[in-house]
A and B are shown apart, each in its own frame.
Chain A
Amino acid sequence: MTARPKLVLENVSMTFQSDGKPFTALAPVDLEIPAGKFISLIGPSGCGKSTIFNIVAGLQPPSTGRVLIDGEDATGLIGRVGYMLQKDLLLPWRNVLDNVALGMEIRGVSMKEARARAMPLLERYGLGGFEYRYPGSLSGGMRQRAALLRTLLVDQDVVLLDEPFGALDAQTKSRMQEWLLQLFNDFGRTVVFVTHDVEEAVFLSDEIYVMASRPGRVIEKLPVDLPRPRDRAIVSTPRFVAMKKYCLDLLHMAEPADDLAA
C-alpha cells in the first residue's frame, strides 16, 4: 500500500546570520508523513523542532526547500495546518466556547454557526459545563483542552502540537495523553507532536523522529509498532521499555558533550 504522504518536507533548512556568521538552526531535512499517523519529534533544545513547526505553519520562510501538503506546495502559506503552540494562548476576554470557536470565526464561519459546531464537542471532550467560563478560572489541563479543541475545529488534516502538555503536572499529563489519543482516533487527523518526554512520545506515536542539535537535524526515524488502541498498562511491557531505552540512548548520543559539562 503506497498512499501519497500527507505532509512532505523537501530539503528544508534554516540558516540565520548571527554576528556576521551564518548559524544553521536546521540542517536540510527530508520528512514524509503519511496520512492519519501520529508522529513525534523528540530532541534536545535547539534541535530545530520549533523551527520545523514554524516553517510548516508558514510563519517563517525556510532558507531552502519546500513544504508539500497533499502534494501541493504550501511553503510560506499560513492557515494550511492546525498549530498549537506551547502556551494555550486563550483570549482572556472570551469564554471557553468563543475561544474554541475562534479558528472557525477567522475562517469566516458566522459566530452563531461556529458556536453551534463547537458546543457538542465541548460536551463530548470534557469541557461540558465550562462553556461560559473564562480561561482565568480554568485549570491548566482544562485550558489545554480548550486550546487543542480550537486547533482541531479548524478542519485541517494536519495538526502540529508543540509540547502541549509540557507545563502540566504528571497526573494531569497522563490523563491528557489518553484524552488526546481518544481525539486522535475520533478525528483521524495527521498529528505531528513535539515533546521532550520520551515516554510520552512512545506512548502516543506511530513513528518517532529523533533529532540532534548543532546543527539541528534528524538523526533517526523509529517506527513504534505497539498495537492500538493503547492503554496506560502498556508502559510497563518489555516492548515499551525497550523502545523507550533505545530512544533515550539515541538522545544521549545526540547531546553534545559540553552540554553535560555545563
Chain B
Amino acid sequence: MATKTTSLPPTRSLFTVLSLFGASDDKGRPIRKLPVRTLWSNWIIALVQLSILVTIVAGWELGATFGLIDKFFWSQPSAIFKTGVIFFTEGDAFTDIAFTFRSTLFGFFLGTTSGALLGMSFWWSRNYARIVQPYVICLESMPKLALAPLIIMVFGMGLASKVAIATALTLVVSTLTAWSGVQAVDRDQEKLFYSLGASRFQVFSKLIIPACIPWIISILRVNIGLALTGAIVGEFVSSQHGLGRTIIYAGQTYEIALVWVAVFVLSALSMVMYAAVAWLETVLRKGINQ
C-alpha cells in the first residue's frame, strides 16, 4: 500500500498575524531566538525580598498611626513588638511554647509510628486487609478536627487530649502511605525470597519493612504540619497552656497584639520543626541509599 502524504494546510495567514508581534523572513518564517533567561544574583533577590518586608511593616505602622488602618482590629508593629517583649520577659512564653511543642512531637511520633505499623501489618493477611481497609478509608474522609471537643471530654484538658488529636490527624495518612509502600513491593522480589526458602517473618523483616521506609520518610514533613495543627486545635477547644490557647484567649479579650505575637512564635516553632524533620529526612535517606 502506498503511503499517503497529507500536506499541511497553508499557514501563511498565521505567520502574517505573528509577524505583527515579531519579524519574519521573506518565506513567512518567523525569526525567533531561544528566549534568554537571566538569573539575578542572590544578594539582589535578598535585597528585593527585604525591601518588600520593610514596605509592608512600615506601611502597616504608618497606616495605623495616621488612622488608615484600624488599630483595634489590626494592631500595629510597634505594639506587637512591645507585647512580644512582655510576653517573653514577664509572660508564660516558654511554658506555652514547650506545651505546644511537646504535644505536637508526641502526636507526631505516635501517629507516624502506629500508622506505619498498621499500614505494614496489612501485608500479613489479605483477608484482614480487606476487612479493615474500608474503616481506614472512612476515618480518612472523616473531618477528624470535628471530633476535637469529644476527644477533649475523653482525655481531659491536659496534654493527653492534644496528643490524641495530633495522633488522630497523622495516623490515617501514615497508614495509607505505608500500605501504598507495601503494595509497591515487587511481587517477584517476594518470589525470590520464598525461592531462597524464606519464612513469612523473614520476608516481612528483610523485605517489606525496608521497602516501606522511604514511603514512611516521605510522610514525615506532612505529618509534622498535621500534628501541629492538631495540637493547636486541641488548645483552641480547651486548654490551660499553649500557643493556641494564648491566641484564643487574646482574641477573646481583644488583645490583638498578643494574637500576632503568638501567631509569629507559632510560625517560628513550625519552621524550626519543619527544618528539623527535613534534616532528619535527608539523614535517613542517606542511610538508606548508601
Contacts and interface: CB of A to CB of B under 8 A. Distances in A.
Interface string B163-192: 000000000000000000000001011011
Contacts of B197: 78-80, 106-107, 154
A81 B195 CA distance: 8
B110 to A, nearest CB: 26
A134 B193 contact: no
A85 B194 CA distance: 12
A58 B189 CA distance: 15
Contacts of B198: 78-79, 106
A93 B206 CA distance: 10
B189 A89 contact: yes
Interface string B189-213: 1011111111000100011001001
B38 to A, nearest CB: 36
A19 B193 CA distance: 31
B288 interface: yes
Interface string A184-225: 000000000000000000000000000000000000000000
Given A79-B196, A91-B210, A59 B191 contact: yes
B186 to A, nearest CB: 7
Interface string B83-122: 0000000000000000000000000000000000000000
A220 to B, nearest CB: 28
A89 B186 contact: yes
A79 B195 contact: yes
A85 B188 CA distance: 8
Given A106-B202, A134-B289, A134-B290, A89 B196 contact: no
A103 interface: yes
B165 to A, nearest CB: 34
A153 to B, nearest CB: 10
Contacts, number: 57
Given A85-B188, A92-B289, A134-B290, A103 B196 contact: yes
Interface string B228-255: 0000000000000000000000000000
A57 interface: yes
A170 to B, nearest CB: 25
Nearest to A57: B195
A87 interface: yes
Contacts of B189: 89, 91
B247 to A, nearest CB: 44
A105 to B, nearest CB: 8
B192 A85 contact: yes
Interface in A30-86: 57-59, 78-83, 85
A12 interface: no
Nearest to B210: A93
A228 to B, nearest CB: 28
Interface residues of B, number: 19
Q: Which of B195, B198, B206 has the most CB of A within 10 A?
A: B195
Contacts of B206: 102, 105-106
Contact of A89 (B192, B288, B290): B192
A87 B191 contact: no
Contacts of B196: 79, 83, 102-103, 106-107, 154
Contacts of B186: 87, 89
A91 B192 CA distance: 11
A136 B288 CA distance: 12
A58 B290 CA distance: 34
A177 interface: no
A95 interface: yes
A85 B210 CA distance: 21
A224 to B, nearest CB: 27
B289 A136 contact: yes
Contacts of A95: 290
Nearest to B194: A78
Nearest to B207: A91
Contact of B191 (A85, A102, A103, A107): A85
A134 B289 CA distance: 8
B281 to A, nearest CB: 16
Report which residue of B191, B202, B213 has the largest number of chain A beta carbons within 10 angstroms of its beta carbon.
Answer: B191
Nearest to B214: A93
Contact of A93 (B188, B194, B289): B289
A106 B94 CA distance: 52
Contacts of B191: 59, 85
A83 B202 CA distance: 18
23 contacts: A57-B195, A58-B195, A78-B194, A79-B196, A79-B197, A81-B195, A82-B195, A83-B192, A83-B195, A83-B196, A85-B188, A91-B189, A91-B210, A93-B210, A95-B290, A102-B206, A103-B196, A105-B206, A106-B193, A106-B196, A106-B197, A107-B197, A134-B290
Given A79-B196, A79-B198, A80-B197, 10 more contacts: A59-B194, A83-B192, A83-B195, A85-B192, A87-B188, A102-B196, A102-B206, A105-B206, A107-B196, A154-B197
8 tightest A-B CB contacts, nearest first:
A79-B197, A83-B195, A134-B290, A106-B198, A89-B192, A103-B196, A57-B195, A106-B196
